[in-house]
A = this chain, B = another copy of it.
Amino acid sequence: MKITARQQEIIDFLQSEHRQTGIMPSTREIQEHFGFASQTAAVSHLKALEKKGIITRLEGKARGLRFTDTLAREPIIDIPIYGAIPAGYGDDTTPESEGCLSVDVNSMGVSASAKTYALRVRGDSMINAHIMDGDHVVIEQKEPRNHDVVAALIDGETTLKRYVKDSKKCFLRAENPNYPDLIPAQELMIQGVMVGLVRGSNGGW
């Protein structure tokens, strides 16, 4: 089953309309766009596309169109990006967001229900964990396990550290020899565990 040139034009139109307006075009709008004298032309094209599995139609519903693979795509979560997390975080107050990072749950490996946020990394204290200045790390609010990378609140600023647990105590360690090692974890507030990282060409690397 191949898609004909005309059918591809229809698909492109559906896609661009949906991107721009947020809703699918009606058969009449398709008709007008292509200059069909009859609205039936649009209908039969949609039928053909449905038969080929490109679109799914919900019968009896206005604009009841959907790209079949759109639902197949993993759901996308919007992760808010915070530059720095204020001290009182967690107590209902929503810190200022510097933007949004939208990724599908599959490629990041976080569940959609998890409480996550992203942090813009400043400095190179975690360079040996291959986390660079300008990277965005995705933090999930949960209990850290040994050797997890965690976001911790130190002196009012959030920094990334390696969480290390020996037989007795818990420590936080920077992954850079230039930074002081081993900070007792008891005195600190651990805000979450790193579960992902996004590096972009605009992220300065």
- Tell me the complex Cα distance, A196–B197, Å: 11
Residue from A65, A81, A202 having most chain B Cβ neighbours under 10 A: A202
Q: Interface segment, A5-13, A15-23, A32-40, A85-93?
A: A15-23
Whether, in the assembled complex, A58 has its beta carbon less than 8 Å from a beta carbon of chain B, the answer is yes
* Residues A23 and B23 in contact in the complex (CB < 8 Å), given A107-B101, A107-B136, A196-B199: yes
Chain A interface SS verdict (over half):
mixed
Q: How many monomers of this protein are in the complex?
A: 2
Whether, in the assembled complex, A64 has its beta carbon less than 8 Å from a beta carbon of chain B, the answer is yes
Q: How far is the CB of A160 from chain B (nearest CB, A)?
A: 13
How many residues of chain A get a CB closer than 8 Å to chain B's CBs?
49
* In-complex Cβ contact of A110 among B102, B127, B201 (8 A): B201
- Tell me the complex Cα distance, A200–B67, Å: 27
* Contact of B101 with A200 in the complex, beta carbons under 8 Å: no
Can you offer 20 A-B residue contacts whose CB atoms are under 8 A?
A26-B61, A26-B62, A62-B63, A63-B63, A73-B78, A76-B76, A100-B107, A102-B102, A102-B104, A102-B107, A109-B202, A110-B201, A127-B130, A130-B131, A195-B200, A195-B201, A196-B198, A196-B200, A196-B201, A197-B198
For the A-B complex with A74-B100, A130-B130, A197-B197 known, give 16 more contacts whose Cβ atoms are closer than 8 Å: A21-B58, A22-B67, A23-B23, A23-B64, A61-B63, A62-B62, A63-B63, A101-B104, A102-B107, A107-B200, A109-B203, A110-B201, A127-B130, A130-B131, A130-B205, A196-B199
A residues at B contact (CB < 8 Å): 19, 21-24, 26, 56, 58, 61-67, 70-71, 73-76, 78, 81, 99-104, 106-110, 127, 130-132, 136, 195-203, 205
The 10 residue pairs across chains A and B that have the minimum distance between CB atoms: A62-B62, A22-B66, A109-B202, A197-B199, A109-B200, A130-B130, A102-B104, A109-B201, A195-B201, A101-B107
